[in-house]
């Protein structure tokens, strides 16, 4: 089949190539805006997101790298809070800053994917634009764009690392790009070390490993500063097997189902035909995917095999589509696959407007169900001299701006030094599914009495509010 633009004329270079890149950037921001529309109206703010906001707010106000909340800022890698702080200095509102960071990251995903596919194919055609759009609007990206978390920015940086590694194959100067992107990846998420390992496995040469060393060192130094955190560890065969299965099934669900993921197997059969498909990029992505899944054998870290694998999903989308373009010689069947994947994206995007997709519970602190709680209104009216103790200090700070102290814990998790119990207002929010905090009965012997001699307790469906005296 004759390729487009093969007319025998030399390819033009110079100033004429610049408007093309400007057009890529323009389209990238348009696509990113579409991806972020839902989050502009109802961004999901989880407890981790609040900690990020608190750290960024502290940086903006010159108070240093600290949260002032339940957990120390060093529990998380530092780059995403720094990006948030930069956005907060330019836009009004914390959630608006998170949307801005996600928008820039998604635009970067589009641009870098476009450049990567152009590098693979040696030309620009409709397929280059299609793959860039499909990657930036893939279900995994659309879902995580709803959250004030670091996953989208992390995925963009991992993609940049892969692009720098690809360019370095023919230009050693790009090894500096590998080093810089490696450090950025390492300082965005702890699992960045798995992304670095994926690149080391895919590009098995000493010069690449040397370029990746600064990122590995950055991970090690930060973890020494942060300590082991409060996640549980220890070998578990069942948990590990479940984690690997969730990694594979989750990737299939995000990439168009098992048929799309099955093209990896097809590619192994027709690997001689895959001259236009990079062998190293899917290898790096699959290595990252499996390493995070295998981490479940030793480490419990929330959804390590879920949203944290977004970077692997983002890398696999252009790889699988490129594999499809080469392996499937039958044009109608190939177009059917493209159309099916596009329909999959549209259906996934439409599902984001369903108000029940992310739930309406109190653990999303940006919902009306949380912000309109009467206990929060009471906290806002409480004098700053009164200490507040609660099982949701993060949600209280996000909704009211008041710094509250966590209730004592009973599960032995690693925590900062407890605040001196001077008495004050105890607010126990119900329905948060937060085990480990002492129950309200812990304060029964310290409840204050009002002028009529009645205990100062306000028990509603949403919270239990108790006024207590200082601990003896």
What tens digit of pLDDT does each residue of 208-231 get? 999 999 999 998 888 887 655 555
What tens digit of pLDDT does each residue of 25-34 get? 999 999 999 9
Q: Is the pLDDT of residue 398 over 50?
A: yes
* Residue 431 and residue 318 share a domain: no
Domain count, the chain: 2
- Residue 271 — pLDDT band, cuts 50, 70, 90? low
* Residue 459 and residue 384 share a domain: yes
Within-domain flag for 10: no
Q: Identify the pLDDT of residue 112.
A: 97
Minimum mean pLDDT range among 13-22, 154-163, 188-197, 315-324: 13-22
Q: Which residue has the higher pLDDT, 417 or 288?
A: 288
Within-domain flag for 429: yes
Q: Is the pLDDT of residue 4 over 90?
A: no
Q: Identify the pLDDT of residue 68.
A: 76
Q: Identify the pLDDT of residue 106.
A: 98
- Residue 360 — pLDDT band, cuts 50, 70, 90? very low
Q: Identify the pLDDT of residue 145.
A: 93
Domain final position from 319, 351, 383: 351
What is the share, in percent, of the chain residues with pLDDT greater than 70?
82
Q: Identify the pLDDT of residue 223.
A: 80
What tens digit of pLDDT does each residue of 425-446 get? 999 998 888 888 888 788 888 8
Domain final position from 351, 379, 403: 351
Average pLDDT in the 111-121 region? 93
Average pLDDT in the 141-147 region? 91
Q: Is the pLDDT of residue 348 over 50?
A: yes
Q: Identify the pLDDT of residue 116.
A: 94
Within-domain flag for 4: no
* Residue 346 and residue 381 share a domain: no
* Residue 258 and residue 179 share a domain: yes
- Residue 8 — pLDDT band, cuts 50, 70, 90? very low
* Residue 282 and residue 244 share a domain: yes
**Structural domain for 94, as ranges:** 17-351
The rounded mean pLDDT for the chain is 83
What tens digit of pLDDT does each residue of 76-86 get? 889 999 999 99
Q: Identify the pLDDT of residue 301.
A: 57
Minimum mean pLDDT range among 36-45, 51-60, 90-99, 403-412: 403-412
Contacts of 103 by beta carbon, 8 Å cutoff, 6+ apart? 29, 32, 33, 35, 36
* Residue 381 and residue 337 share a domain: no
Within-domain flag for 201: yes
* Residue 125 and residue 31 share a domain: yes
* Residue 347 and residue 273 share a domain: yes
pTM score of the predicted model: 0.87
Within-domain flag for 301: yes
Within-domain flag for 425: yes
* Residue 84 and residue 151 share a domain: yes
- Residue 156 — pLDDT band, cuts 50, 70, 90? very high
* Residue 172 and residue 140 share a domain: yes
Q: Is the pLDDT of residue 9 over 60?
A: no
What tens digit of pLDDT does each residue of 305-343 get? 577 888 988 998 998 888 777 777 667 777 877 888 888
* Residue 373 and residue 346 share a domain: no
* Residue 138 and residue 275 share a domain: yes
Q: Which residue has the higher pLDDT, 265 or 225?
A: 225
Within-domain flag for 8: no
Average pLDDT in the 146-171 region? 95
- Residue 167 — pLDDT band, cuts 50, 70, 90? very high
Within-domain flag for 2: no
């Amino acid at each position: 089949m004759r390729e487009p633009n093969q007319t025998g004329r030399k390819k033009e270079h110079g100033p004429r190539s610049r408007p093309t890149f400007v057009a890529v950037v323009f389209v990238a921001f348009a696509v990113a805006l579409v991806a972020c529309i839902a989050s502009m109206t109802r961004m999901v703010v989880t407890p981790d997101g609040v900690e990020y906001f608190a750290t960024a707010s502290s940086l903006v106000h010159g108070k240093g790298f600290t949260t002032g909340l339940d957990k120390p800022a060093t529990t998380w890698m530092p780059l995403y809070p720094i990006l948030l702080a930069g956005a907060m200095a330019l836009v009004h509102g914390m959630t608006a800053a998170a949307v801005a960071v996600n928008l820039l990251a998604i635009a970067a995903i589009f641009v870098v994917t476009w450049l990567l596919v152009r590098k693979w194919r040696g030309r620009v055609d409709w397929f280059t634009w299609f793959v860039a759009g499909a990657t930036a609007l893939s279900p995994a990206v659309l879902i995580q764009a709803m959250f004030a978390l670091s996953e989208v920015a992390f995925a963009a940086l991992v993609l940049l690392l892969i692009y720098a590694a690809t360019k370095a194959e023919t230009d050693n100067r790009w090894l500096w790009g590998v080093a810089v992107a490696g450090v950025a990846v390492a300082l965005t998420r702890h699992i960045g070390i798995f992304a670095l390992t994926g690149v080391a496995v895919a590009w098995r040469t000493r010069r690449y490993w040397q370029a990746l060393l600064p990122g590995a060192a950055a991970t090690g130094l930060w973890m020494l500063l942060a300590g082991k955190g409060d996640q549980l560890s220890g070998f578990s065969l069942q948990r590990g097997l479940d984690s690997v299965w969730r990694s594979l099934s989750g990737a299939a669900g995000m990439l168009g189902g098992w048929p799309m993921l099955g093209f990896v197997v097809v590619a192994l059969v027709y690997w001689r035909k895959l001259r236009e498909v990079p062998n190293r990029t899917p290898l790096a992505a699959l290595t990252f995917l499996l390493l995070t899944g295998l981490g479940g054998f030793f480490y419990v870290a929330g959804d390590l095999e879920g949203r944290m694998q977004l970077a692997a999903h983002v890398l696999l989308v252009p790889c699988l589509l490129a594999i499809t373009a080469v392996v499937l010689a039958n044009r109608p069947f190939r177009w059917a696959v493209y159309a099916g994947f596009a329909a999959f994206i549209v259906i996934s995007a439409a599902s984001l407007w369903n108000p029940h997709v992310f739930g309406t519970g109190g653990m999303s602190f940006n919902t009306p169900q949380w912000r309109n709680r009467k206990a929060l209104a009471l906290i806002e009216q409480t004098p700053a001299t009164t200490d507040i103790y609660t099982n949701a200090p993060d949600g209280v700070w996000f909704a009211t701006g008041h710094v509250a102290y966590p209730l004592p814990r009973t599960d032995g998790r690693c925590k900062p030094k407890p605040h001196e119990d001077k008495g004050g207002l105890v607010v126990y929010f119900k329905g948060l599914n937060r085990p480990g905090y002492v129950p309200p009965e812990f304060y029964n012997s310290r409840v204050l009495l009002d002028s009529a001699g009645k205990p100062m307790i306000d028990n509603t469906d949403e919270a239990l509010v108790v006024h207590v005296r200082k601990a003896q």
